Amino acid sequence: MWQRIKVIANPLYGDYALAGGVCPDVVARTVTFNLNSMFRTGGSPMASEDGHVRETRHGISYIRTRGRRRVSSLDYFPFIFFLVCIGFLLFVLQGFVLFVKTHLIYFIIGASAVAFVVLLSVIKGIRRRSNESLLVDTADHVCTKENPSDKDFDLLAKLRGKAGRLTENVSRNIEVSYRELVAQIVRDGLVESNELERLKKTEGALQLSEDDIRIGRIRGFRMVHESAIGDGELTADEENSLNQVRASLQVPESAIQYELTQIEELRKARIIKESPLVPFESTVRLQKNEIAYHETASTELKKRISRTYTVDGVKHKEYEFAEIRSGKLVITNKRLLFVSDGTSSIKYDAILNIDVSYTTGRMAVVKDGRKNPHYFKLPEPVITVAHLAKAIHSHG
């Protein structure tokens, strides 16, 4: 059966759309066209069974002559979207490249400046550590060398100036070297003029503060002091040595008040030992023919265990001294007498040993036949022990 239909040619795909509404029996019907006649006359060719007729949306029918489906405009959307995205990315990339080209010089300058600063910091740190190490070695050399030259002091001062502010570790090492120098100077108990000059040069080269100098010199004086009173006595030569060292090092009396008190007590004790015993009128009632040589306030003490503990299976004890009673301690030609709410005495021939503590002011008297010593707290223990030792030596 032949029908006349109007077609619209699509040369790109070889498809032809039917126009003028839906054709009768359009489904499963085939049509053929006289293309030359259609393009030439624009007429409506006759349909035959050479091709398939299909119906699409909106009543538009398409005739496929090459076996290909008709492509609508919506089928181009993914491709178009892809092209738009590519274009956008190219635009952004072009803008970024333009930005980098424009600001690259600033970026390079900034990065170079940062790298230069970091490099300078690293170099400065390395040089600083090297100077500090050299300063410590030079300070130790100058302080321990027997006779350092002026060049040694100049080099030490130059290195100290380069070092600037010292770290805690370097300051500690320099302080140790300075103390060794002070100890070397006062080792013989005297500070000579050339030694004092060397000490001042070292202090100036090291740029020591007044506090560091004062502490170092006080330590030097205390070394001489401990050496002098180590045996519990102070000779006249030792006293003169202490006075000379204190004056040369310019040690303030307020900083060594405790040491000066000990020196004064030991000086009095020396005089007591070197002088004869002098009787005096005691406030305590004594026996017939008993003479008092010394009397002082005293407190009787008792030693007791404060706590016990065990370490690695070994038992340890800690002791404390408790005050029992206060009274007077009298040294006579016959005995050591303690008077309080009662009286107790120790004869000289029963005394085995006497110990004294400068720091606590305690005197311990070991008596024959007694397990624990007698403990007394005294205001001037050195002087009291000197009187007691003199009395025992004279009447014991």
Instruction: Give the per-residue pLDDT at 186.
Output: 93
Write the pLDDT tens digit of every residue in 77-122.
777 778 888 888 888 887 777 776 676 677 677 778 888 888 888 8
Write the pLDDT tens digit of every residue in 258-293.
899 889 999 999 999 889 988 988 888 888 889 999
Q: How confident is the model at residue 76 (pLDDT cuts 50, 70, 90)?
A: low
Q: Is the pLDDT of residue 362 over 90?
A: yes
**Whole-number Å distance between alpha carbons of 293 and 384:** 10
Would you state the torsion angle of the CA atoms of residues 190, 196, 199, 201, taken in this order, to the nearest 10 degrees?
-170
Instruction: Give the per-residue pLDDT at 222.
Output: 94
Structure tokens at 384: 């009291």
Instruction: Give the per-residue pLDDT at 46.
Output: 40
Would you state the torsion angle of the CA atoms of residues 362, 364, 365, 366, taken in this order, to the nearest 10 degrees?
180
Instruction: Give the per-residue pLDDT at 14.
Output: 42
Q: How confident is the model at residue 5 (pLDDT cuts 50, 70, 90)?
A: very low
Between 240 and 71, the higher pLDDT residue: 240
Instruction: Give the per-residue pLDDT at 182.
Output: 93
Per-chain mean pLDDT for the chain: 80
Whether the Cβ atoms of residue 48 and residue 32 lie closer than 8 Å to each other:
yes
Domain positions in the chain: 6-71, 145-274, 292-395
Instruction: Give the per-residue pLDDT at 396.
Output: 63
**Whole-number Å distance between alpha carbons of 141 and 151:** 12
Instruction: Give the per-residue pLDDT at 75.
Output: 63
Torsions phi, psi of 332, nearest 5?
-120, -170
When pLDDT is averaged across residues 340-357 and rounded to a whole number, the result is: 91
- Axis-axis angle for helices 77-144, 150-163 (nearest 10): 150
Could you tell me what percent of the chain has a pLDDT over 70?
79
When pLDDT is averaged across residues 22-36 and rounded to a whole number, the result is: 40
Write the pLDDT tens digit of every residue in 232-265.
889 999 999 999 999 999 999 999 998 998 899 9
Kindly report the CATH number that applies to the domain delimited by 292-395.
2.30.29.30
Q: Name the amino acid, one letter, at 158.
A: K
Structure tokens at 278: 């002098």
Could you tell me what percent of the chain has a pLDDT over 90?
41
Say if pTM beats, i.e. exceeds, 0.75: no
Instruction: Give the per-residue pLDDT at 73.
Output: 57
How does strand 292-311 pair with strand 374-377? antiparallel
Instruction: Give the per-residue pLDDT at 48.
Output: 40
Q: Is the pLDDT of residue 147 over 50?
A: yes
**Whole-number Å distance between alpha carbons of 212 and 221:** 14
Q: Is the pLDDT of residue 8 over 80?
A: no
Write the pLDDT tens digit of every residue in 175-223.
999 999 999 999 999 999 999 999 999 999 999 999 999 999 999 999 9
